[in-house]
């Protein structure tokens, strides 16, 4: 405590001691000044000491110095070197010195205080500027800065010497620099306050931030600009907010465009539209200038007349959703979905009504197209007797059945849900349930498609044949979500297949009858054909006996005769085997590689006696090295025989020529043509010659050509007839190089 008091007392005492010492030192120094110059020197010294003390320590200390100096200097000014207060001259000098000292001290102290206040104000102003959360600058007219706050130097990293001149321009973003300088130039010329937004680079991270730059001029009494005072305020957050708002508005506008949804605000008191989005303008095809006068009734005018009452009724509701149509001035009709919400203030007064209007024209069209598509699909399913379904594997329940599925199973299409698994299995034929479950469970385990046929038994006892196809739907992890599939009612197809099988059997029987009939008609020719090798064998046998009866026996000649017997016997056996296979009933088709030219020669040999009988010549134009075809040899023989006999019968009365031709076509098929020079085909009946039971012969059955066509088509070929240029007709048939291996035609 004592130390603190001493510090408070020691400072004034020390200053008084220093002041006294200064006065005595100056007084002592004045002794060296001649007496004639002492008054002026003493006065100047007196004023100097008083001014120094007053400027340094203030009025109180300068007053003390003035008293000491007045006493000391007055004494020095006495003529005899003494100072007596009783002398008027000494009192006058003392008083004068005191007045001058006190006045000088007061004035000096005032100046000192003003200087201190000015320095304090400047310091406080500088502290204020330095601590303002902005950057402050002062500039002369033109681009040169003369002062910038500490915030500027810390942010930009530019010292004062680099900031002056054009140095400050280096921290402005290049995209903003040109505009910023031009605006500063205009304001400097016109004296208008400067305001601009620009990006300035931060020395710390090199990033640019947005600043709002404002500057005002300081003018003299004549209006001339002396300086510019300015401030840079960081508005980066505001700019980001504005950009986010602009992006949000852009996103909203884009979302409205993409969703074709417009928004609006309506003021109920003035019956005026306060806001319409751009998308709403497009929806209503309204000019933006009309918004200022768009009242509720004018809004109603855009609504289709048939929907206006519905819309008016909905406007009174606080919340409403309504679909209606717009009838635009161009005549275009749009479907829209409107939603509105009424906004009330705290007192319950209606402030405004906000809402949205979405253009759902495309959705309506899509819905209509979907309804039509569903109707077409339902009709297609009904016509094709095909139903569709979806089955949820985790829940083991059918989640969808089409209407045709219900009809196929004899159930009411209007029922609320598909049948469960137990009901479904009850409808299935008992003999098919185990096989059905086994196949389906296997597909479920292996996550594969499946297809199978099964039967169902309706409540009235009707049996239906169904063909089912199922396909798994997998999620991203590979697990089965559901199975989708179809059921096709193939009952009619099954019946048709059974009927076709019966017809095939009938056709087979007819073909066999045709072959038997043909063989009967060719009995004489066949007997002659068999008689030749038999007669030759007998002759050779007799010859062999004669050669053996000789003494000695001629074994070589006998051996040759016996060899001829074997050859003739083999020939007869081959003819008999061909006849047996040709005659045999119920032989299934046996596809093999067959040489068509070889079959043609066989049939010519078999029918040679028949052609000789009616004076008919046979000629061939067979292409060499034809590829073999996969066919049933017996059926192919029957085709050749039927067509050759057909030509022979056409030339029985007058004879003629039968020509057999084979060739390879451009599409790599084999074409065989059998041509005659007989009576030809009646032009009006050419299209019917292959019909069953159609014949132009008195004793014909009308089945020969029909059977022939079925055989050719079963081999994948085609049969047709054409009239010759001269007389007669030609029958053509084609065979592919690789005919079908499974032949369904009669054999």
Helix (H, G, I), strand (E, B) or coil at 479: coil
Residue where the block lists tokens 């600009």: 225
Helix (H, G, I), strand (E, B) or coil at 191: coil
Answer yes or no: is pLDDT of 663 > 50.
yes
CB 50 within 8 A of CB 65: yes
CA distance 54 to 60: 8
Helix (H, G, I), strand (E, B) or coil at 11: helix
The pLDDT value recorded for residue 675 is 94
Q: What are the two backbone dihedrals, phi and then psi, of residue 463, each rounded to the nearest 5 degrees?
A: -105, 130
The pLDDT value recorded for residue 230 is 87
Answer yes or no: is pLDDT of 512 > 60.
no
Percent of the chain predicted with pLDDT > 90: 15
Answer yes or no: is pLDDT of 586 > 80.
no
Answer yes or no: is pLDDT of 715 > 90.
no
623-646 confidence digits (pLDDT tens): 998 999 998 887 888 788 889 888
Task: Give per-residue burial for 595-632: e unless 16+ CB within 10 Å, then b.
Answer: ebbebbebbbebbebbbeeeebebeeeeeeebeebbbb
The residues facing 45 across adjacent strands are: none
User: Could you please report the per-residue DSSP string of 236-279?
Assistant: HHHHHHHHHHHHHHHHHHHHHHHHTEEEEEEETTTTEEEEE-HH
Give the mean model confidence (pLDDT) for residues 401-426: 87
Percent of the chain predicted with pLDDT > 70: 69
CB 351 within 8 A of CB 343: yes
Least confident of 212-221, 225-234, 521-530, 643-652: 521-530
Answer yes or no: is pLDDT of 94 > 60.
no
The residues facing 35 across adjacent strands are: none
Answer yes or no: is pLDDT of 523 > 70.
no
Least confident of 23-32, 37-46, 650-659: 37-46
CA distance 653 to 614: 8
pTM metric for this prediction:
0.37
Distance of CA 506 to CAs 500, 584, 596, 643, 708, Å? 10, 15, 27, 21, 14
The pLDDT value recorded for residue 657 is 93
Answer yes or no: is pLDDT of 392 > 80.
yes
Confidence of residue 104 (pLDDT cuts 50, 70, 90): low
Answer yes or no: is pLDDT of 79 > 60.
no
The pLDDT value recorded for residue 361 is 85
226-264 confidence digits (pLDDT tens): 888 888 989 988 888 888 888 887 777 777 777 788 887
């Amino acid at each position: 405590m004592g130390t603190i008091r001493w510090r408070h007392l020691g400072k004034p005492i020390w200053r008084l001691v220093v002041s006294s010492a200064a006065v005595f030192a100056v007084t002592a120094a004045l002794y060296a000044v001649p007496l004639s110059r002492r008054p002026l020197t003493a006065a100047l010294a007196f004023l100097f000491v008083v001014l120094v003390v007053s400027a340094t320590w203030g009025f109180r200390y300068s007053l003390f110095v003035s008293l000491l100096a007045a006493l000391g200097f007055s004494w020095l000014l006495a003529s005899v070197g003494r100072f007596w207060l009783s002398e008027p001259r000494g009192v006058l000098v003392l008083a004068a010195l005191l007045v001058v000292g006190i006045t000088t001290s007061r004035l000096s102290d005032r100046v000192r205080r003003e200087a201190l206040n000015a320095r304090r104000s400047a310091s406080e102003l500088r502290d204020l500027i330095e601590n303002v959360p902005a950057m402050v600058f002062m500039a002369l007219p033109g681009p040169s800065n003369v002062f910038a706050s500490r915030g500027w130097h810390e942010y930009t990293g530019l010292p004062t010497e680099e900031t002056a001149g054009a140095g400050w321009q280096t921290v402005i973003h290049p995209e903003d620099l040109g505009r910023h300088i031009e605006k500063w130039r205009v304001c400097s010329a016109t004296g208008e306050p400067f305001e601009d937004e620009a990006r300035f680079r931060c020395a710390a991270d090199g990033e640019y931030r947005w600043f709002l730059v404002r500057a005002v001029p300081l003018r003299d009494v004549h209006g001339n600009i002396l300086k510019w005072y300015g401030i840079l305020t960081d508005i980066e957050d505001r700019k980001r907010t504005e950009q986010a708002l602009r992006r949000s508005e852009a996103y909203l506008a884009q979302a409205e465009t993409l969703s074709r949804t417009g928004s609006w605000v309506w003021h109920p008191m003035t019956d005026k539209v306060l806001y319409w989005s751009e998308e709403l303008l497009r929806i209503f095809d309204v000019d933006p200038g009309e918004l200022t006068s768009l009242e509720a009734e004018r809004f109603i005018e855009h609504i289709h007349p048939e929907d206006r009452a519905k819309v008016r009724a909905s406007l009174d509701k606080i919340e409403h959703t309504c679909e209606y149509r717009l009838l635009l001035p161009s005549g275009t009709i749009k479907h829209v979905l409107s939603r509105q919400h009424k906004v009330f203030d705290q007192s319950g007064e209606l402030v405004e009504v906000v809402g949205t209007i979405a253009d759902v024209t495309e959705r309506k069209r899509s819905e209509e197209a979907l309804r039509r598509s569903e109707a077409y699909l339902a009709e297609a399913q009904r016509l094709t007797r095909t139903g569709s379904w979806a089955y949820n594997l985790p829940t083991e329940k059918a989640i969808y059945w089409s209407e045709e599925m219900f009809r196929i199973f004899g159930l009411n299409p209007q029922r609320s849900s598909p049948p469960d698994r137990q009901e479904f299995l009850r409808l299935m034929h008992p003999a098919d349930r185990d096989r059905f479950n086994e196949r389906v469970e296997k597909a479920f385990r292996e996550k594969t498609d499946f297809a199978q046929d099964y039967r169902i038994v309706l409540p009235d006892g009707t049996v239906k044949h169904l063909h089912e196809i199922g396909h798994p739907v997998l999620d991203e992890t590979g697990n089965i979500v559901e199975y989708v599939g179809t059921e096709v009612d193939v009952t009619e197809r099954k019946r048709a297949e059974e009927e076709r099988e019966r017809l095939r059997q009938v056709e087979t029987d007819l073909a066999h009858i045709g072959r038997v009939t043909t063989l009967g008609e060719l009995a004489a020719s066949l007997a002659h054909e068999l008689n030749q090798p038999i007669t030759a064998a007998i002759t050779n046998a007799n010859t062999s006996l004669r050669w053996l009866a000789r003494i000695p026996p001629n074994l070589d000649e006998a051996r040759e005769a016996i060899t001829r017997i074997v050859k003739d016997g083999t020939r007869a056996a081959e003819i008999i085997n061909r006849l047996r296979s040709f005659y045999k009933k119920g032989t299934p088709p046996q596809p093999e590689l067959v040489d068509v030219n070889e079959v043609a020669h066989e049939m010519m040999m078999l029918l040679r006696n028949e052609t000789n009988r009616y004076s008919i010549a046979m000629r061939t134009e067979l292409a060499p090295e034809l590829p073999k075809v996969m066919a049933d040899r017996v059926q192919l023989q029957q085709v050749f025989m039927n067509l050759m006999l057909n030509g022979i019968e056409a030339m029985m009365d007058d004879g003629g020529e039968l020509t057999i031709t084979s060739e390879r076509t451009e599409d790599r098929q084999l074409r065989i043509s059998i041509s005659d020079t007989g009576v030809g085909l009646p032009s009006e009946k050419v299209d019917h010659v292959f019909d069953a039971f159609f014949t132009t012969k008195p004793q014909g059955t009308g089945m020969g050509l029909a059977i022939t066509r079925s055989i050719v088509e079963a081999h994948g070929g085609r049969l047709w007839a054409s009239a010759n240029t001269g007389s007669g007709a030609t029958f053509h048939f084609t065979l592919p190089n690789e005919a079908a291996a499974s032949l369904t035609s009669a054999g």
